[in-house]
Chain A
């Protein structure tokens, strides 16, 4: 048997060789490496920031520091304490959730359960939500001053205390700061809730309706309970965002220093983020203040980061559960 020579000889091109060997070309390898490096660099920056704060803040953090108020000099590491700031920040975000969660959840319910997803009206609401998310935080501060303090507070004073020369409502206060933050975090809440509502299988709603439940009953008894993790995530993300925001509360409620704790909604309060700003920029002796500055930043980061990580975990679990439902 003689070997048959093929009629046409195929000469393999270098490209074909490369492809068969499974090795990408040099350009591809370079850019894969470069983009991977970009991702790595971002993670490295994150690690450096966290590492720096933990490394310098941890040794200074003491029980006394977080459990006492500042008696005299808030820049002095020996006497300074940040309990009033921790309580102030907690009060501000707690009040905020009272406003933002109901409004956010109800808006999300309308958008997913009632609105026609393609109508112009729905698009306008969505556009407004996106826009609200992009408004600069300092503009929220101006809005809080112009609307809540001057307009709402001023009107309340004119109505209830017209003879009182000193404003009671029309001045920076815990209530106004919380409301301003609620306006700012509303998009976070809406988007997170919407996502969880959308992930619930349509079949569950249909089954409920088929059994004779009304639409509202279906939403209340079938849809919302399953969306709870999503609502929780939204709330946590809103809190974590609001806890660290300083610009919106500069003119609406944060105080540079207060000798007493806020007792009423109309009192001002001290805030962790604002305190970080004060310690970094107003200290007469930055070298002396630096240790407590780091410790304060660490406390603030612990607060916002823990919340963020909890939100990510809740969301991951929720997604896994919903995948199982489908």
Chain B
């Protein structure tokens, strides 16, 4: 707390004592300022809470997605409590309240009929929303070996998330391989080697790249880059992980550049002057003195670039081809976690297993980016301390 409304003079900020005791209005206003400043913490907490909350029943194993469910005869409707009936019909409270008896009866008949049509094999009784089926391969009927399959909209809902994880990692890897050398090279040049005049123009110009919305980069990848890259590399499927990764690289270049440039520029000029006076060239000073001193900042830049790349949605949704194929080939069409959420959430049943699995994917995404941000933050803090000579 900054200070309390007490009779005593309080130690104010920067060691300056207050001239007056705080007026009640000021006391209130300052408390309000303090509470508002908590909003960022609160929001991070709420984001995690409300995304994870929707996925929680799934995490706890309380969701069943088995296609074969014991159908209840429509005639037995009156024996069920309204809550049981609602759960059985997979309706939300509002939907349930909106329907009259006839409609409910009709829904029950439909459900009973659907139950009859479910294929009569072992797959139908599998609860595919179980962790085992989310992560491990399984030999479905008609396949000759266990496979990882993401196929949510079929009679047997196959929810293996491994192909999506690989898709996300593949595109992110391409993006990093493409953007890290470019962005770091440009950062070294702009902060250490360029003349002040060039620097003044180049820095904001490169950062302008961040002003291009990701949907526009996705559009550019789809309409222009797809054709060009296919001609150059001669691969088969027009939309693939390589194309999406390259476009994604464009999106994270300004992120990596901006942070790395700041870190390199924050290294004291005396380091460079000392190196130059000992006969080093500008490049040697930049590469052997400044770069090692700023390495935590560079690491943070790459970590944030990674977080941004794995969480980017529109570019991969438009340019990756969206086929959930289990393969490490960069030139195969691929489907990422983010694109899956964006493409499928609108069609899911509210509160159903598909809906909850998409929220689970969101929770995983949040956790991954949270950790990479945290790592970047801690490292940057250490860098700042080191350059300021505090340990």
Contact = CB atoms under 8 A, between A and B. Distances in A.
Interface in A273-326: 273-274, 276-277, 280-281, 290, 293, 297, 300-301, 304-305, 307-309, 312
A125 interface: yes
Contacts of B36: 103, 106-107, 110
Contacts of B238: none
B308 interface: yes
Given A139-B362, A250-B342, A277-B314, A134 B369 contact: yes
Interface stretch (A19-27, A61-69, A225-233, A259-267): A19-27
B346 interface: yes
Contacts of A1: none
Q: Which of B46, B186, B307 has the most CB of A within 10 A?
A: B186
Interface in B89-103: 94, 97-98
User: How big is chain A's contact interface, by range?
Assistant: 35 or more
A35 B185 contact: yes
A165 B100 CA distance: 11
B40 A245 contact: no
A301 B202 CA distance: 20
B209 interface: yes
Interface in A12-49: 15, 19, 24-25, 27-29, 31-32, 34-39, 41-43, 45-46, 49
A206 B189 CA distance: 41
Given A42-B186, A216-B29, A308 B208 contact: yes
Question: What secondary structure prevails in chain A residues at the interface with B?
Answer: helix
Interface string A241-281: 00111110011000000000000000000000110110011
Contacts of B224: 52
A247 B240 CA distance: 20
B231 to A, nearest CB: 16
A186 B22 contact: no
A304 B33 contact: no
Contacts of A49: 212, 216-217, 220, 250
Contacts of B16: 206, 209
Contact of A247 (B26, B51, B342): B342
A127 interface: yes
B346 to A, nearest CB: 6
Contacts of A301: 212-213, 216
Nearest to A122: B37
A114 B30 contact: yes
Contact of B346 (A134, A213, A251): A251
Nearest to B372: A134
A204 interface: no
B302 interface: no
A285 to B, nearest CB: 14
A163 B46 CA distance: 29
A87 interface: no
A23 B345 CA distance: 61
A139 B47 contact: yes
A79 interface: no
Contacts of A170: 94
B292 interface: no
Interface stretch (A2-10, A70-78, A90-98, A140-148): A140-148
A238 interface: no
B359 A146 contact: yes
Interface in B365-383: 365-366, 369-370, 372-374, 376-377, 381
Nearest to B27: A216
Given A34-B185, A246-B314, A28 B281 contact: yes
B307 A134 contact: yes
Interface string B211-237: 111111111101110000000000000
B193 A280 contact: no
A317 to B, nearest CB: 13
B37 A46 contact: no
Given A103-B39, A293-B223, A166 B98 contact: yes
A277 B2 CA distance: 48
Nearest to B368: A136
A134 B182 contact: no
Contacts of B358: 142
Given A125-B40, A140-B47, A135 B311 contact: yes
Contact of B369 (A37, A135, A212, A309): A135
B50 interface: yes
A240 interface: yes
Interface string B44-62: 1011001101100000000
B9 interface: no
B377 A39 contact: no
A183 interface: yes
B143 interface: no
B318 interface: yes
B186 A135 contact: no
B324 to A, nearest CB: 17
Nearest to B95: A165
Given A246-B214, A246-B215, 12 more contacts: A39-B185, A110-B37, A132-B47, A135-B370, A136-B307, A138-B341, A146-B51, A183-B47, A214-B20, A251-B346, A276-B216, A300-B215
20 contacts: A35-B188, A46-B212, A107-B36, A107-B37, A107-B39, A124-B41, A125-B37, A131-B373, A134-B373, A137-B311, A139-B47, A142-B54, A143-B51, A165-B94, A170-B94, A186-B40, A245-B213, A250-B346, A281-B222, A308-B211
Interface of A: 15, 19, 24-25, 27-29, 31-32, 34-39, 41-43, 45-46, 49, 52-53, 103, 106-107, 109-111, 113-116, 123-143, 145-147, 150-151, 157, 165-167, 170, 183, 186-187, 190, 202, 206, 209-210, 212-216, 240, 243-247, 250-251, 273-274, 276-277, 280-281, 290, 293, 297, 300-301, 304-305, 307-309, 312
Task: Give the top 8 A-B pairs by smallest Cβ distance, nearest first.
Answer: A244-B213, A136-B311, A38-B185, A165-B98, A110-B37, A24-B281, A35-B189, A28-B283
